[in-house]
Each structure stands twice: as C-alpha cells, then as structure tokens.
Structure 1
Amino acid sequence: MTVTVDEKPRTNSKFKLVGPKEVGYNVKQVDVFLERARAYFLNAESNSKAITSLDVRTASFDPARGGYSAQAVDAAMDRIEDEFVLREKELLIAAEGEKAWMMKIGKTASVLRARLHRPDGERFRRPSRKSVQSYNVNDVDVLCRELLVYIEDNGELSVDVVRRAVFAAEKGANGYDESQVDAFLDRVVELMAAIDPLTSK
C-alpha cells in the first residue's frame, strides 16, 4: 500500500513515496510548487506570479515522513529548471537578438572566472564565528579547479556534478563560508544550464 505523509492511501502520486517511517519531501508543498510552475510555463501571459529558472533551482521543501522521494523530486526539478532556462534564452534572443544573449553569458562567465582564478584557500571568505559550520576548503577548491578548466578550456563537466556537489563540514574559519559558496555555485549552474540546457545531463 502506498502511504503519504498523513498515512492515507494515495494512488495518483507524482513521485515515488518513501516508507511511512522514512523522511522525504512534503507532498503538498511539492505538488503546489510544480502545479504553479507548470501553469506559468504553459501560460506566461497569465496573471499568476512569474516563476524563473532561479526560483526552480532555489526551491526547497520541508521534510516529512512518508513524503516524496527527495532523489526523484530533485531529478525532476533539474529537468524543469533546464526547460525554464531554455525558454528564457529563447525569449531573450527573440526580444533582443543573439548578441544580447551572448553578452549575458559572457558577463556571467567573466565574473565567475575572476573568482576561480584566485589562489587555493583564498577563493571565498572564512566565517568569523568559530561555531558556524563551513565547507572544507580543499573540497571546494578541487571543484573550482575543475570549473576553471570547463570555462576556459572547454573541459567536460556535467552541470549535475555541480548541482550535487557535497563538501566535508568544517567549523568557522577552518572552512569557506557556506552561503557565499552556495551563491557562487548557483551562478555556475545558471551558466552551465544556459550554455547547453538540454544536453547538460
């Protein structure tokens, strides 16, 4: 029997549900967000609030017992983001031309490249509070070196590697500030998905 967060049978679930004692994503929150995203994608001229690829990428859902499988939802969100990125690209080109799109990509790449060229151990700030959790410096720097090869030498790197990147935990100034690293990687994903959204898998 399929069980939802309230332990009632659910036969029309959009995603696989975890067991009743396991933790997944809140079913209602996922369903509501996906319905909003679908409605806007199909009818961007509607009065509903605009949804962008950034909104899809940064969406989060509360944990819930018996909820949707996080892995299944995350994979679907990645695909949806790619579709939004592609349409945003097409709309910009239609409105302002291919040159405008290339300029946008170029500016983003330039900003990212500048940080990637910083020396190992100096790419991001360090938290000033000793108790704050941070990211392992070496783990982050390894990914940054791979990204630099991707941007400057057409290296092979899947956007999913960046999306799923996991770094060992540190404390305080022993590591990089999590929020700054996360914000930077969001821009990286935006660039990679924009360059080739449909073959980024």
Structure 2
Amino acid sequence: MSTTFPRSGKKVLGYDTGQVEDFLVNARRAYDGEGELTAESIRHTAFSMKKDGYSPELVDAALERLEDAFAAKERERASATVGEAARLDEARATAQVVINRLSREPGHRFARTSFLTVGYNRADVDRFANRLVKYFQDGFPITVDDVRTAVFRPQRGGYRENQVDAVMDAVVEVMLAVR
C-alpha cells in the first residue's frame, strides 16, 4: 500500500491513488529527460475522485511545486536555445495580450453565457482582472498561487469559464516565465 500522500478517508472523496501514482512515475521520467511533460500539461492534470483516495489539497500542492520545477527547466532550455532576451520578449508579448484582454470595460472582458447557463461571476472576475492589470503595469504584489487559487462565484449569464480559465493559464505562464 502506497503512502505517497495521506488518504482522504473511507467516506471522503480523494484523488484516485493509481492515477496519481502513474502520473508521478511519468513525471519523474520526464524530469529526467525520458518523456514528454510540460509545466502547462501539469497545470491541466486532473484525477478521478474515489473514496479513500489521496488528499486533493496535498496532491494539488505537490502538482504546483512540480509545475514550478518543470517551468524552471523550460526557462533554462529556452534561454539556451533562443536566448534570454528572446524568451523574455515572448513572455512580454503574451503579457501584453493578457493586459489588452483584462483592460476591457468591466462586464465586457469575456464572452458571457446565456441567462440560463451558469458562468463565472462577472464582478468577481473583473475585480481580480483589475488586480492583474495592476500587477502587470505597476508591479502590484500578486503571486502565482494567488492566480492558481482564484475562485469565482457562479452566476447565471456570467463570463464563459473556458475563456477566463485560458487567460488565467496565460497569466500563470507569464509569471513562471519571468521568475
């Protein structure tokens, strides 16, 4: 029986232990150069939920550290391949696209769902978007973890979740690229 992470308990859902263990084996191989795995693919990793699975909070924290480690390797590789200046120029270009999107009028930053469908609360997203714009333009203190753990309440007619999530992913990519 593996003890990689504490279990969630017999009556509580946690991450499927087999899936987590398989992922970690593949991640170790990839980190050693024997496989394909990126910081982005780690960020998008999901596991099935099962009773007595691994603690989601602790697995998620480990995935964040793993994403950071892979991002550091990717930065080093990109700097060696295209040069530090070109790598930073690419990050700046992505940041500008994000700033352009987040600088739109509140309530109009993303496409909205129909009034019958639930999306992200527009006010919550707009408030966080304002913080992100300040981060990019003025150096307002915000961390990668702040972005990763941002939560938006549901709202009928809210912003489309996939668009907001894509921009949040781009923010994380830029933040990791310029560390």
Range into which the TM-score falls when normalised by the shorter chain: over 0.9
Q: How does 1:1-201 map to 2 (within 5 A)?
A: 10=1, 12-42=2-32, 44=33, 46=34, 48=35, 50-128=36-114, 130-171=115-156, 173=157, 175-196=158-179
CA RMSD of aligned residues (A): 1.0
Counterpart code for 2:11: K
With normalisation by structure 1, the TM-score equals 0.86
How far residue 60 of structure 1 moved from its aligned partner, in angstroms, is 0.4
Give structure 1 stretches of 5+ with no counterpart. Answer: 1-9, 197-201
Contact map agreement 2:88 2:178 (CA 8 A) in 1 = no
Q: Distance in 1 between matches of 2:46 and 2:148?
A: 14
| 1:8-57 residue CA offsets vs partner (Å, 9 max, x unmatched) | xx3x3111111111011111111111110111111x2x3x4x11111000
Aligned residues: 179
Q: Distance in 2 between matches of 1:94 and 1:106?
A: 18
Contact map agreement 2:121 2:154 (CA 8 A) in 1 = yes
Q: Distance in 2 between matches of 1:51 and 1:180?
A: 24
Which stretch shifts more, 67-76 or 186-195? 186-195
Q: Distance in 1 between matches of 2:4 and 2:170?
A: 29
How far residue 170 of structure 1 moved from its aligned partner, in angstroms, is 1.0
How far residue 131 of structure 1 moved from its aligned partner, in angstroms, is 3.2
Q: Distance in 1 between matches of 2:113 and 2:107?
A: 13
With normalisation by structure 2, the TM-score equals 0.96
Give structure 2 stretches of 5+ with no counterpart. Answer: none
Percent identical pairs in the alignment equals 39
| Structure number with larger C-alpha Rg | 1
